[in-house]
């Protein structure tokens, strides 16, 4: 059947096929219309290659403005759902999926990041990344561009980071109560860059690296790729512990450090990824003390520390506050709290360690981009409004996702974080990988539990980020819920991992 073989359908027919407007609809009318059309194609109510009514006819048939219909058609066209040819109107099609992968979700088993929801009707619940706070990028980019001429006459290299940014980051810590000088800061291209530099410079192949289990999967992939040995410390999941905000067992961690003397320990005490848990002060003190005794470097990821949910009280002191022996190396980032497209992260540590890390960094990519660093410096000069905006978005997303899960799947146990970007979900059985497979078939991408640990277990867990807009979260959970029973029944108990 060629595209031309399907007739153009009338506005009245299309209106019937689309059904009534959802009662909980939110967002611009044109996006909603585009969404309804895509959904109708995906579930078979509209044939692919159907010719759509003219904009004028559909506007009249649906009682929408012609502008709205035109914008919806434009959006569908841009997303590859519509072919428009002069004289023959607009015809539905399926977006192409061939060609190069558009996200790293497609490049391998890591598969946990990408442009969320950027094409078609797919809902990406595998990625924990926010849109940029409104107006912020434009503001800091304009300020950075104004600074550029003063830098353009130089060579542009600064492997430690631009002095102005190192100082701004140091001031950010000092203002929060942890006295810091610029010499203690190395600027990196985002948090993952900071992580891999520390891993590379402070350990060698074969070294043991203590991690939480579950942990951030891209860090875990980097540990494996660098031929270090991940040493997992289990964190109890939802339902296993009354207070999910305190799952770290300080005695266990201290004993493990004493017995195995890991070179590095990678911990996320502030809204742990994926559990969202927050480590209390006494546990922090115990762990730093244990690390000092076992000569372990604590690589502490504070990516989400600056965006606790609104109304959250004071956080426990930073891990670095308990350190008097240069055991704590702190990893910070604007890529999680502000925007993933702003590739600015850093490490805070003793100047001697920072010097070694900078030498390694210079061999890897010489230096960071100047304009990006100037943007970050301007951001840190006045971060409050933008961080508040991101905090609200995260809290709102968490509320929507939690409510939707409670309604759709009350038997799933979920974490109740007060920060971070995702829920950690305990399923009633070990079918997470099968659920991810089934979800993919209905246009939802999720990350099953085994992605978050080193040994292919955690088949009863899922991470569900709440960074997508509310309508995507709701649709995503509904689709997921619709295939969950089938996935639970079909589960293969011997599936070892994500891509098998």
123-142: contacts with its own copies (CB under 8 A): 127, 129-132, 134, 137-138, 141-142
Contacts with its own copies: how many residues (CB under 8 A)?
76
In what side-by-side order are the strands of the sheet with 208-213?
Answer: 185-188, 345-348, 328-333, 297-301, 264-267, 208-213, 229-234
235 interacts with its own copies by CB under 8 A: no
Query: Which member of 318, 343, 409, 437 binds its own copies (CB under 8 A)?
Result: 343
For the bound state, the minimum distance from the C-beta of residue 76 to its own copies, rounded and expressed in Å, comes to: 17
Q: Which is nearer to its own copies, 20 or 154 (CB)?
A: 154
For the bound state, the minimum distance from the C-beta of residue 253 to its own copies, rounded and expressed in Å, comes to: 26
Q: What is the DSSP letter of 22?
A: P
Positive/negative CA dihedral, 448, 449, 453, 457: negative
CA 342 and chain centroid, separation: 14
Q: How many CA atoms lie within 13 Å of 84's alpha carbon, on the beta-carbon side?
A: 12
Site for its own copies in 369-398 (CB under 8 A): 369-372, 375
For the bound state, the minimum distance from the C-beta of residue 9 to its own copies, rounded and expressed in Å, comes to: 32
Q: Which is nearer to its own copies, 120 or 237 (CB)?
A: 120
74 interacts with its own copies by CB under 8 A: no
Query: Which member of 25, 252, 366, 385 binds its own copies (CB under 8 A)?
Result: 366
What is the C-alpha R_g of the chain?
Answer: 25
118 interacts with its own copies by CB under 8 A: yes
Q: Which is nearer to its own copies, 204 or 492 (CB)?
A: 204
177 interacts with its own copies by CB under 8 A: no
Site for its own copies in 437-496 (CB under 8 A): 467
For the bound state, the minimum distance from the C-beta of residue 496 to its own copies, rounded and expressed in Å, comes to: 20
Please name which of 16, 30, 83 lies closest in space to residue 52, comparing C-alpha atoms: 83
> Per DSSP, what are the bridge partners of residue 8?
51
Which listed range, 9-17, 277-285, 309-317, 355-363, lies at the site for its own copies (CB under 8 A)? 355-363
For the bound state, the minimum distance from the C-beta of residue 194 to its own copies, rounded and expressed in Å, comes to: 9
Contact 185, 163 (CB under 8 A): no
| Rounded-to-integer distance, Cα 416 and Cα 423, Å | 7
Q: Residue 349: which residues within 8 A CB-CB, separation 6 or more? A: 184, 186, 326, 328, 329, 330, 357
For the bound state, the minimum distance from the C-beta of residue 204 to its own copies, rounded and expressed in Å, comes to: 10
Say if residue 7 is exposed, middle or buried (CB neighbours under 10 Å; 0-12, 13-18, 19+): exposed
Q: Which is nearer to its own copies, 472 or 491 (CB)?
A: 472
155 interacts with its own copies by CB under 8 A: yes
Q: Which is nearer to its own copies, 22 or 351 (CB)?
A: 351
For the bound state, the minimum distance from the C-beta of residue 374 to its own copies, rounded and expressed in Å, comes to: 10
| Rounded-to-integer distance, Cα 347 and Cα 354, Å | 8
Query: Which member of 68, 126, 180, 188 binds its own copies (CB under 8 A)?
Result: 188
Q: How many CA atoms lie within 13 Å of 325's alpha carbon, on the beta-carbon side?
A: 13
Burial track 100-114 (b if 16+ CB lie within 10 A, e otherwise): eeebebeeeebbbbb
Q: Which is nearer to its own copies, 334 or 484 (CB)?
A: 334
Site for its own copies in 200-219 (CB under 8 A): 218
- Residue 332 sits at φ, ψ, to 5 deg, of -125, 165
Matching residue, tokens 């001031």: 171
Q: Which is nearer to its own copies, 151 or 470 (CB)?
A: 151
Binding-residue pattern over the window 88 to 117 for its own copies, x denoting contact by CB under 8 A: -----------xxxxxx--xx-x--xxxx-
């Amino acid at each position: 059947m060629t595209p031309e073989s399907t007739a153009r359908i009338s506005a009245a027919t299309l209106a019937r096929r689309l059904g009534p407007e959802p009662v909980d609809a939110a967002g611009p009318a044109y996006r909603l219309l585009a969404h309804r059309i895509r959904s109708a194609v995906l579930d078979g109510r509209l044939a692919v290659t159907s010719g759509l009514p003219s904009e004028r006819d559909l506007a009249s048939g649906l009682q929408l403005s012609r502008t709205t219909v035109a914008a919806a058609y434009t959006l569908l066209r841009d997303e590859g759902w519509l072919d428009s040819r002069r004289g023959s109107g607009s015809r539905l099609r399926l977006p192409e999926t061939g060609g190069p992968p558009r996200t790293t979700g497609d490049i391998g088993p890591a598969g946990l990041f990408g442009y969320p929801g950027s094409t078609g009707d797919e809902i990406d619940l595998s990625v924990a990344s926010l849109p940029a706070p409104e107006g912020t990028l434009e503001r800091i980019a304009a300020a950075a561009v104004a600074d550029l001429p003063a830098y353009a006459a130089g060579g542009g290299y600064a492997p430690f980071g631009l002095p102005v940014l190192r100082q701004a980051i140091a001031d950010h810590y000092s203002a929060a109560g942890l006295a810091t000088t610029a010499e203690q800061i190395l600027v990196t291209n985002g948090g993952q860059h900071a992580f891999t530099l520390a891993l590379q410079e402070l350990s060698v192949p074969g070294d043991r690296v203590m991690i939480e289990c579950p942990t951030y999967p891209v860090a875990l992939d980097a540990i494996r790729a660098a031929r270090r040995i991940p040493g997992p410390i289990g964190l109890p999941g939802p339902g296993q512990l009354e207070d999910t905000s305190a799952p770290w067992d300080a005695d266990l961690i201290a004993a493990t450090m004493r017995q195995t003397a890991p070179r590095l320990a990678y911990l996320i005490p502030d809204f742990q990824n994926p559990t969202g848990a927050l480590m209390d002060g006494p546990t922090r003190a115990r762990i730093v003390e244990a690390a000092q005794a076992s000569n372990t470097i604590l690589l502490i990821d504070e990516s989400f520390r600056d965006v606790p949910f609104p109304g959250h009280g004071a956080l426990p002191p930073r891990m670095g506050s308990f350190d008097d022996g240069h055991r704590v190396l702190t990893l910070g980032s604007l890529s999680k709290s502000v925007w993933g497209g702003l590739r600015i992260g850093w490490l805070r540590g003793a100047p001697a360690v920072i010097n070694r890390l900078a030498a390694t960094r210079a061999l890897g990519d010489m230096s960071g981009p100047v304009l990006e660093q100037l943007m970050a410096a301007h951001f840190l000069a006045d971060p409050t409004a933008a961080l508040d905006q991101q905090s609200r978005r995260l809290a709102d997303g968490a509320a929507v996702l939690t409510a939707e899960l409670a309604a759709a799947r009350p038997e799933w146990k979920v974490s109740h974080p007060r920060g971070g970007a995702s829920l950690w979900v305990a399923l009633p059985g070990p079918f997470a990988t099968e659920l991810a497979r089934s979800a993919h078939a209905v246009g939802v991408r999720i990350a099953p539990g085994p992605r978050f640990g080193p040994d292919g277990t955690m088949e009863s867990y899922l991470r569900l980020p709440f960074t997508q807009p509310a309508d995507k979260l709701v649709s995503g959970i509904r689709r997921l819920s619709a295939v969950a029973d089938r996935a639970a029944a079909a589960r293969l108990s011997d599936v070892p991992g994500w891509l098998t």
